[in-house]
Every structure is written in structure tokens, then in C-alpha cells.
Amino acid sequence: MLDLIVIGAGLTGLIAAHTAARAGKQVKIVTKGLGATHWHAGSIDVLGYYPNSATPVQRPLETVRDLTRARPQHPYAILDGTLSDALKNFVALAQELGLPYAGAANDGDNLWLPSPVGAARPTFLAPRAQLAGDLRRPEPMLIVGLRGMRDFYPELIAENLNKQGHRARAAFLPLDLITERHDSNTVHLASALDDPARRMKLAAELKKIFQPGERIGLPAILGLDAHAVALDDLQAQVGAPIFEIPTLPPSVPGVRLTNALRHRLRQLGVRVEINADVIGFHAEKDRVLWIESDASGRPLKHRAEKFLLATGGILGGGINSDHTGKVWEVVFNLPLTTPHDRGEWFRARFFDPAGHPIFRAGVPVNREFQPVDANGGRVYENIWAAGNILAHTDPILERSLEGIAIATGMATARSACNLKP
């Protein structure tokens, strides 16, 4: 019998499975898809904007303390001070995986990284390849695009950076330096740059256009499997600091992080069953005995002592809804916190700083991250919930998506497996 089944293979699920497996537990992941990690920037947002404030957060761990006081039901409040340790554990893990992450030079500050449209993006930890983009650094930037690449616009980035007082200029190189393909996306391009010969061609062209003292921003395509080597190699050949700017999905930095974590899980003997949509479960009294997945056209039962729900919210597919205004959790039909009426789901402006109420829909949990009902009573004794499915937050609006994923993924795995922090 397995100790734990994790449902979902986004960042939350991978971190939770890793935490349990590393402590010697028998763990399996059952998942429909690959999670939202492939869509975002590959960085670790902890808190970018305090709810209803347009001012970016400077020191997120300190501001999180204010947030937890003001909102005792927020997932960060339930974590009860373990956020900071969780992030340290993540940094140590990423180092072990050969995909090092770090924060701002001034410890505890948010980084300010250029977004693909040239806005200053507040994030707490970033892969090494993004760090030289920190907008607190004084060196002027050369943003280099590839002519014909549809997901990266260096002139737009440079213009917006200049408007915000950061010196930047744009340049283009031909796309066929990297690939001859007609239907390439960012992952293909990154894969092509695993090849040293192509990197050499790219480096030679970069050397021609950069001016001494500049740092070079490129789309996040600097290698996939050989990323660490690719980055060092390019910087050494060009002789300038180089940084990646994340692109539209698919996100190469996100893919690298997922791949690295899955590689480690394989080493730890954790199976990841993909394309296994959980379509049912069986409970006796308040204990779930098995879940059932619809895999390869036949239903399959998965038994375990404990189950950890990391299916994501509306984005990940853990929460669904219909035109009558019904909103439900798709695996266990757990009680949800949601607006009562479909008329209350949205605000009139897409960019309303208060966000859209429906995107705060989530599973309410107790202090151990076990789902509860309207009276605060535990629904099942052996179910835990973590990540984007949790109630009382809008992590995309707050820019807290990965912070919540990592910290609650670790905390729930510990809680479920009775591990010490």
C-alpha cells in the first residue's frame, strides 16, 4: 500500500511528492496534465502586490506577516511562519538539481525583472539565468530579439524600460542562427541551443552588436537539457552578463524546473502517471479508500493511505463551473468558498486591481490543510489540499502563485506523512 497519492503534477504536486518521498515514504503522482508551471515565468513569486494595492511589495516576507495578520484564512497564515524555511529548502533543492535559484542582492528584497512587455515584474526568487536582469542593477541593457520570432518584441521591451528610467536598447539577430524550422516554438529553440555549434554562431553575432558595459537580455531559450552549460558558455564567449526574459507559454524556464523535479522524483522511485484524469473515488465513513482514473480508455483504481489534492484552481482544472453558476471541486466534490451568484463573479474592468471574485474560489482548509465544511469540520480524515486550489487568495493577482505552491506543497506533505519540519 502506498503511503501517499498526490493528485496533480504542477509545482505544488511535484514539491509535495518530493518532500514525502525524500522522507522515505512510498509516493505516486496521478495527474491529468503537466500543471501551470509550463505557462508562467519559471521564477518564484512570493508576494508582488498586497491585495488592492498598486504599489509593488519591496520585502515580501515582511509584508506576508502583515497579510497573515489581516487575513487569518490566507494560505500563508495557515502556514504559520514556515514560508521562509520552505523557500530556503527550495533554494537548496534547486541547487542540488543543478538549476540554481537566488533572490535579490539585498537579501529579502523582491527582484525587479523585465517582463516580456517591458514592465518591472516583482518576484522573489529567479533562476540564475534571469538574475542579471534585475532592474536595480545600473548597467544599460541590450535587449536582443530574433527577427521573425513571434513571442518576443525587444523594441517594445526597450521602449517601456526606458519610459521607466532603465536604460535599454533593442537589436535583432536572424532567427535562422538558431533554427531552420518553419514551426518552431520557444521549446524547440531552447533545445536547438543545447548544441554548442549553434551557441557559437549566436555568441559571434552577439559580440558584434553589444557595447562594453552592457548586459544582454535574450528570450528565455538558452538551452533546455544543457541549460547550465549553455548559459556559462555564452557568457564566456561573449564576455558580458546575459539574462533571460521569459516568453509567452510554453515557458522554457518552467519546463526546465518541471523536468528537473521530475528527474529527481524518478531517482526517488516516484511514479508520475500522466494523462490519468481522476473521475471518481470511494470513501467509507470519512476515509477515502481509493480514487479512480480514466487512463487509456479504462478506469483504474489507485489505493493509498492518504491523498493530497494538488489539482490547481480554475486554471489547473481542479475547479469547474457551469452556466447556472454552479462551481465544484472536480475530484472529491469538496465544499468550496465561492461567490454565491454568477452575477458576482466578475468586475467590469479586466485589470481591476481588486481582481475578479470567482478567481478566489477555493477549498477551505483547517490548520493542517485538511478540507473543511461550512461548520469548520474536517470532511475526510485522509485528504489534504495544497497550492492554487486553496481558498481565500487570488495568487495570480497577488503574484504569490509559486510561493503558495512550494510552501503549502511542503507543509501538506509533512502534515500528511507526520514529518517534522
Partner 1 sequence: MKRIETEILVIGGGATGTGIAWDAALRGFRVLLVEKRDLTHGTTGRYHGLLHSGGRYVVKDPHSAAECIAENRILRKTHMHCIEDTGGFFVVTPEDDNEYPDQFYAACARLEIPCEEISVAAALKREPLMNPEARRVFVVPDGAADSFQATHSTAQAARQAGAQILNYHEVVQLLVEGGEGDRRVVGARVRDVARGEDVEIRARMTINAAGAWSGVVAKTAGVRVDVIPGKGTMLAVNHRIINTVLNRCKMPDDGDIIVPIHTVSVLGTTDERVEDPEHLTIEPWEVELLLREGEKLIPGVSRTRFVRAWAGVRPLYQEHYNGASRDATRDLTLLDHKTRDGVAGFLTILGGKWTTFRLMAQVTMDKACEYLGTCKSCVTAQTVVPGVEQGHYWLGHRLREVEEHHLQSELVCECELVTRAMLENAARNNPTLTLDDLRRDVRLGMGPCQGGFCTYRAAGILHQVKSQNEKGKSEEPARWEVAYMQSPAHNQRSAISDQPSAVGGQPSAVSGQQSQFANPNLLLRDFLQERWKGLLPILWGRQLKQERLDELIYLALMNADHLPDENATSPMSEFYARIAFSGQLSANSDQHSAFSEEPISRER
- Helices 60-70 and 83-96 cross at an angle (nearest 10°) of 140
Strands 120-123 and 242-245: unpaired
Strands 298-309 and 2-7: parallel
Question: 82 or 162: whose CB is closer to partner 1?
Answer: 162
Contact 75, 402 (CB under 8 A): no
Secondary structure (DSSP) of 25-88: --EEEE-SS--GGGTS-SSB-S-SB-TT--SBPSSHHHHHHHHHHH-TTSHHHHHTT-HHHHHH
Question: 4 or 77: whose CB is closer to partner 1?
Answer: 77
Question: 290 or 345: whose CB is closer to partner 1?
Answer: 345
Question: 88 or 150: whose CB is closer to partner 1?
Answer: 150
CB of 323 to partner 1, least distance (A): 5
Instruction: Give the other-Cβ count within 10 Å of 343's Cβ.
Output: 8
Question: 211 or 350: whose CB is closer to partner 1?
Answer: 350
CB of 314 to partner 1, least distance (A): 5
CB of 20 to partner 1, least distance (A): 27
CB of 96 to partner 1, least distance (A): 27
| Cα dist from 9 to 33, 35, 71, 146, 409, whole Å | 7, 6, 28, 32, 11
Question: Under 8 Å CB-to-CB from 378, ≥6 apart: which residues?
Answer: 286, 366, 370, 371, 372
292 beta partners: 280, 301
CB of 8 to partner 1, least distance (A): 15
Question: 228 or 279: whose CB is closer to partner 1?
Answer: 279
Question: 82 or 321: whose CB is closer to partner 1?
Answer: 321
Give the span between the Cα atoms of 391 and 394, in whole angstroms: 8
Give the span between the Cα atoms of 179 and 187, in whole angstroms: 12
Secondary structure (DSSP) of 152-200: --HHHHHHHHHHTT--EEEEEEEGGGT---SS--HHHHHHHTTSHHHHH
- Helices 83-96 and 252-267 cross at an angle (nearest 10°) of 80
Question: Under 8 Å CB-to-CB from 132, ≥6 apart: which residues?
Answer: 215, 241, 242, 243
Contact 124, 149 (CB under 8 A): no
CB of 368 to partner 1, least distance (A): 17
CB of 277 to partner 1, least distance (A): 14
Question: 391 or 410: whose CB is closer to partner 1?
Answer: 391
CB of 82 to partner 1, least distance (A): 23
Contact 44, 123 (CB under 8 A): yes
Question: 200 or 248: whose CB is closer to partner 1?
Answer: 248
Question: Under 8 Å CB-to-CB from 176, ≥6 apart: which residues?
Answer: none
Instruction: Give the other-Cβ count within 10 Å of 176's Cβ.
Output: 12
Question: 20 or 307: whose CB is closer to partner 1?
Answer: 307
CB of 252 to partner 1, least distance (A): 13
CB of 125 to partner 1, least distance (A): 14
